[in-house]
Amino acid sequence: MTEVTQLLNAIDRGNPQAAVQLLPVVYEELRRLAAARLAAEPSGNTLQPTALVHEAYLRLVGTPEGDRWDHRGHFFAAAAEAMRRILIDEARRKATERHGGAMQRQMLDPDSTAGAEPREELLAINEALDRLEAEDPLKANLVKLRYFVGLSLAEAAAALDLSERTAGRHWAYARAWLRRAVEETQEKE
């Protein structure tokens, strides 16, 4: 049993010091994952990896009635979901009129084609991911681990107790499913 799993079990048993001991053990890995995820975000993003990790960690273990995790992979899957929700909340906040959401960008090159704003794309992916989760929660969890946490295919497969080959098939299917769902959403607009 890994140190992370032991600490998660101690948190589950109600040991108040276990949550304090868990952060230093998982902090660097969570920060690396947050930095990788934020690197894919549009420039001008005010959310920093440290803030994302702290917010996600508080959502995970900051409440006395927090979730229970079976193992290390389950904890990192929960961290992926927490980071996803934080990024979606931030994108929604920035899309509000008060934060300039109603402003239209002016393209410098009139011949270039306009694409979806990164913030709008993230919201479209989130909506599509919610629909995928209702249809196939395992594939949706794989997407969360890969896209929102930045795990490699092998790391995500291990976290979900899948073979790497099965995870690869699920990943290919989920990517195609999400691409089609996002394109359908954009066509309706």
Domain residue spans of the chain? 3-102+114-188
pLDDT score, position 66: 52
**Per-chain mean pLDDT for the chain:** 78
Q: Tell me the whole-structure pTM to 2 decimals.
A: 0.53
pLDDT band at residue 187 using 50, 70 and 90 as cut-offs: confident
SS3 state of residue 152: coil
Separation between Cα atoms, residue 142 and residue 166, nearest integer Å: 11
Q: How far apart are the first and last CA of the chain?
A: 50
